[in-house]
Amino acid sequence: METFANAQTLDTTQIPVIDISSAIDGSDIDSVAARIHDAATKTGFFYISNHGIDPRLMDQAFAVAKGFFSLSAQDKSTIAVNTDQRGWMATGMSRLQGSKAHDLKEVFFWGTEITPDDPDLLAGKPLVAVNRWPDGVFPCLKADLLPYYGAVCKVGEKVLSAIAVSLDVAPDFFKSRYVSPLARGQMVYYPPSSPKDEAVERFGVAPHTDFGVLTLLLQDQSGGLQVRTSEGVWIEAPPIPGTLVCNIGDLLQRWSNDCFASTVHRVINRTQNARYSIPVFYDPNTSTCVDPHDLGVPAEECKYEPVLVGEHIAGRNRRSFAQFKGTK
């Protein structure tokens, strides 16, 4: 009988570490593009190194995440998550499609900083919202988290340029689509998994694919991220100091007409300690149309109809999180 959430040790040929420094400085984007293309078509996951983010910003982000999640539930509930997907989500509110139990995780959600007069906000466009910061109970969160967020978004822009080159389009293909992006961040806390959790097949986060275009993940040293290969085998994706984990989301698989793979993954924390991670889902503007034809796929070969980014992601959110119960 297979052990619950069993996974093999990482084979580095399956999830490669890609040095992106030459894409960052523009000296050789083609070689980075080739390596990303290889990983994106095979596993849909890769690590990136030499990305240029100051390690102090990473440490600061983890420190403020630990501080926030150590607050009382009463304090965190002052910014309880809403249907704009901003604020704190308690354990039990996330149950992904197809899972047998709710996830163990707690999450703080935020996105691009906007003001109340933002045109997309006033137009009621999906996922565009003012962030909910716990200024009254934890005023340092915004100041300590946003510097890392800004840095990782800049890296995301460079990675997307390499992805564009890998798909034989101009390096700036994504640029116009990322004006006012849906760069949605999460701070995630995973408590240790217990035998009771495993008995009901409860994960830190259940097997799923990401909803958007590109995810850039900062994970602590606890481990627990597992990826399902195209052969159906689960492998560990352990933390590698100084790197970020990148993976392809559903919208980029769709945009690339299934050239790239949006891969199923999950998290289980089998340590005796808390696990923390900070993914940033680097997605285009809410009104961006995702259409394989724009990436050069002949109309008759397109496997997918055009879809708007915000509508697609909002639909997936409604099917996954408790705060949407009773809404349409």
> Domain segments of the chain: what residues?
17-324
pLDDT of residue 184: 96
Phi, psi of 182 (to 5 degrees): -90, 65
Q: How far apart are CA 66 and CA 141, in angstroms?
A: 10
- Spell out the residues 6+ positions from residue 26 whose beta carbon is closer than 8 angstroms to its own: none
pLDDT of residue 12: 58
Cα end-to-end distance, the chain, whole Å: 41
- Spell out the residues 6+ positions from residue 226 whose beta carbon is closer than 8 angstroms to its own: 5, 7, 234, 235, 236, 237, 265, 266, 267, 268
> Measured between alpha carbons, how far is residue 158 from residues 110, 153, 193, 237, 315 in Å?
22, 9, 36, 23, 28
Query: Of 263, 249, 251, whose CA–CA distance to 290 is shortest?
Result: 251
Residue with tokens 């420190």: 63
Task: Tell me the pLDDT of the chain (328 aa) as tens digits.
Answer: 346 777 777 565 689 999 999 999 999 999 999 999 999 999 999 999 999 999 999 999 999 999 999 999 999 999 999 989 999 999 988 887 677 889 999 999 999 999 999 999 999 999 999 999 999 999 999 999 999 999 999 999 999 999 999 999 999 999 999 999 999 999 999 999 999 998 898 998 999 999 999 999 999 999 999 999 988 999 999 999 999 999 999 999 999 999 999 999 999 999 999 999 999 999 999 999 999 999 999 999 999 999 999 999 999 888 877 676 655 5
Residue with tokens 């149309």: 289
Angle separating helix axes 140-166 and 55-69, nearest 10 degrees: 130
pLDDT of residue 8: 74
Q: Are 206 and 103 in contact (CB under 8 A)?
A: yes
The whole model's pTM is what?
0.94
pLDDT of residue 92: 85
Angle separating helix axes 140-166 and 29-42, nearest 10 degrees: 90
Residues 17-324: name the CATH superfamily: B-lactam Antibiotic, Isopenicillin N Synthase; Chain (2.60.120.330)
pLDDT of residue 251: 98
pLDDT of residue 1: 32
pLDDT of residue 96: 75
| Per-residue b or e along 273-291, where b marks 16 or more CB atoms closer than 10 Å to that residue's CB | ebbbbbbbbbbbbbbbebb
Q: Find the angle CA(193)-CA(250)-CA(31) to the nearest 5 degrees.
A: 100
pLDDT of residue 328: 53
